[in-house]
A and B are shown apart, each in its own frame.
Chain A
């Protein structure tokens, strides 16, 4: 094991290769570009393939082809590129093809795109939002496992700060061998009988069983699989000092790093403030948010957008406690980085004000 100082994007790429990813395709877009570059540098050494695609449409198309042929495969982009990929993500979900999609977002304006999806049809994608290199490695590996387990695309949300902050990672010289191709893939390992495998979003089979083309039955199976998947993924969140908190902040990704710092400072000054950091954005950690909100005066959602995750927080709390948004920030005019309004000082001020407004019982 050696410790290396690397750019966040390289930590992401390293995690993907260690998780057994052997096919990657992407189209340059800041801040996703560096992940593509690191995959292009690293994959051939591992016997893998990295393609600079002609567009995000082609990248995700190739990735679902590679996944259908048995490879652990991934693509990614930044919000706009993910918009282009939605068609394939929803169709691959219906076809039962699993792969990982990174959204190295510029802000948090893609929360809805990630958690609801912009594609057509009755599909969902699990969404993981790591912070810090150790969690990046852990959740990227988990994302591939989920993609295999549920044969469904899985989204990992990163951002500009994750991509461009230098971090230290532990790495050994060799990456583990990729897992063997799953039995359902087009791997040439079973005979071409009447049941020869077909990957199709329409669920069509080649068997003479009278139901070769029963779309309703296929969609029904997909819906049941979706429900099973939702129930089968344990929602996760990190709780920071929420026990007796009067103000509970909910934040994910980079915004949670600010909130974490503010919570610790305010606690040191004797204020009862806590943080819930959703790690799975879908399924959303409703239980954890609800439990943390119990006994609090107010729940404050801190997100770098006009208010998206706040809807999930409201659904979790179900009116038991007032929910307010500490949002209305956006990224700067070029959509790079983070709004100048996102500072520890501003967040501290907002929370002190909330404590003031809700202090029926001064401490």
Chain B
């Protein structure tokens, strides 16, 4: 849009610290909520992202996570439940100079806003989308969410939920998202690295952040993310490296023609059999196979960047120059198609 004309000279990025990105608002989450460390990670990472506060917009929907815009010293929209990707798309297209973050929970972005999320991803709108997955509805005090495990007993599912959970990364890859990553709230450094990568990506970047809701779904990821369990349970994805984890790299991942990605003892296979991680694979199927590891979040779980590919960013394609039919002159229309003479 025409507003882009205002930034013909490169803008100077003032150096900032975490404090510059903190607003004056009192942060109101439950004590011990994972959202605090995610907020800190983002505020620690932003000074390295090469962006000015006044060019940054944080868009939230409704939910605990969606309160982010209050706490960020940036522009913000606290929008409507589910609609954050749609609102953010409007912001990003109306002013492509802005860095636009979408922050939402599993209910906000996968239930009521699932459709908006899919379409923002498939269009490859230039957005950084952070989905905090706590596998529960926190703000409304503990009902099962679209990522809750089957059989989850909550106040709204006293007999255990019948719904099969969505795997957020599989959903994003199914929509052919160009950047897909996972991180977790117990490792601030990892979050910072992933957030920086996501922000650097041109197009729609999707990051799932495993987040503990200590009040309504405590210990949801403890089997994986607790410090003592990480070595056995986190599969770090390193670009160009065979996928190994566990004590002394004793475990690894291979691609099995029948079962997709599977975890093996490295002693049982040759080094060449191990899957070499390549986030730049154009086809999303290998990344998808990795996203299916640990569907219930109780087995070894890959962490890091699953996919990062370059595709045209929405709105930056060359405009079609051909005159569309709606703009023709009436005289041209009268002489178009079949014409004949009546004698």
B95 within 8 A of A: yes
**Contact pick for A4, options B23, B92, B329, CB 8 Å:** B329
Q: Is the CB of A61 within 8 A of B56?
A: no
B89 within 8 A of A: yes
**Contact pick for A68, options B91, B97, B320, CB 8 Å:** B91
A207 within 8 A of B: yes
Q: Is the CB of A191 within 8 A of B87?
A: no
Which residues of chain B are within 8 angstroms of A212 by Cβ–Cβ distance?
24-26, 70
**Contact pick for B90, options A44, A69, A91, A188, CB 8 Å:** A69
Please give the distance in Å from B317's CB to the nearest CB on chain A: 10
Which residues of chain B are within 8 angstroms of A191 by Cβ–Cβ distance?
53-54
Which residues of chain B are within 8 angstroms of A5 by Cβ–Cβ distance?
330
Please give the distance in Å from B7's CB to the nearest CB on chain A: 8
Which residues of chain A are within 8 angstroms of B1 by Cβ–Cβ distance?
22-23, 47-49, 71
Q: Is the CB of B24 within 8 A of A62?
A: no
**Contact pick for B23, options A70, A178, A194, CB 8 Å:** A194
**Contact pick for A192, options B54, B78, B320, CB 8 Å:** B54
Complex Cα spacing A71 to B55, Å: 16
Complex Cα spacing A65 to B53, Å: 18
Q: Is the CB of B324 within 8 A of A196?
A: no
Complex Cα spacing A299 to B96, Å: 54
A177 within 8 A of B: yes
Which residues of chain A are within 8 angstroms of B55 by Cβ–Cβ distance?
188
Which residues of chain B are within 8 angstroms of A206 by Cβ–Cβ distance?
23-25, 70, 73, 76
Please give the distance in Å from A166's CB to the nearest CB on chain B: 10
Which residues of chain B are within 8 angstroms of A178 by Cβ–Cβ distance?
2
Question: A48-B1, A186-B95, A208-B24 given as contacts; is B77 within 8 A of A62 (CB)?
Answer: no
Please give the distance in Å from B60's CB to the nearest CB on chain A: 9
Q: Is the CB of A186 within 8 A of B78?
A: no
- On chain A, the number of residues with a Cβ less than 8 Å from chain B's Cβ atoms is 63
Q: Is the CB of A61 within 8 A of B74?
A: no
Chain B, range 1-38, C-beta contacts under 8 Å to A: 1-3, 20, 23-26
Q: Is the CB of A69 within 8 A of B80?
A: no
Q: Is the CB of A200 within 8 A of B53?
A: no
Q: Is the CB of B73 within 8 A of A66?
A: no
Chain A residue with the shortest CB-CB distance to B21: A192
A352 within 8 A of B: no
Please give the distance in Å from B39's CB to the nearest CB on chain A: 14
Chain B residue with the shortest CB-CB distance to A208: B24
- Residue-wise, chain A 159-196 has the 8 Å CB interface mask toward B (1 for contact) of 00000000000000000011001000011111111101
B219 within 8 A of A: no
Please give the distance in Å from A318's CB to the nearest CB on chain B: 39
A-B contacts, 20 listed (Cβ < 8 Å): A22-B94, A23-B1, A23-B94, A41-B326, A41-B327, A49-B94, A58-B83, A58-B119, A65-B88, A66-B90, A71-B3, A181-B3, A188-B54, A197-B76, A200-B76, A200-B78, A201-B79, A204-B78, A206-B73, A208-B24
Across the A-B interface, the 10 shortest Cβ-Cβ residue pairs? A65-B90, A192-B53, A61-B86, A62-B90, A208-B24, A65-B87, A66-B90, A66-B94, A200-B78, A41-B324
Where the two chains meet, the residues of B that have a C-beta atom closer than 8 Å to any C-beta of A are 1-3, 20, 23-26, 52-57, 59, 69-70, 73-80, 83, 85-95, 97-98, 115-116, 118-119, 315, 319-320, 324-327, 329-330
Where the two chains meet, the residues of A that have a C-beta atom closer than 8 Å to any C-beta of B are 4-5, 10, 22-23, 25, 37-38, 41-42, 44-45, 47-49, 51, 53-55, 57-71, 73, 87-88, 91, 95, 177-178, 181, 186-194, 196-202, 204, 206-208, 212
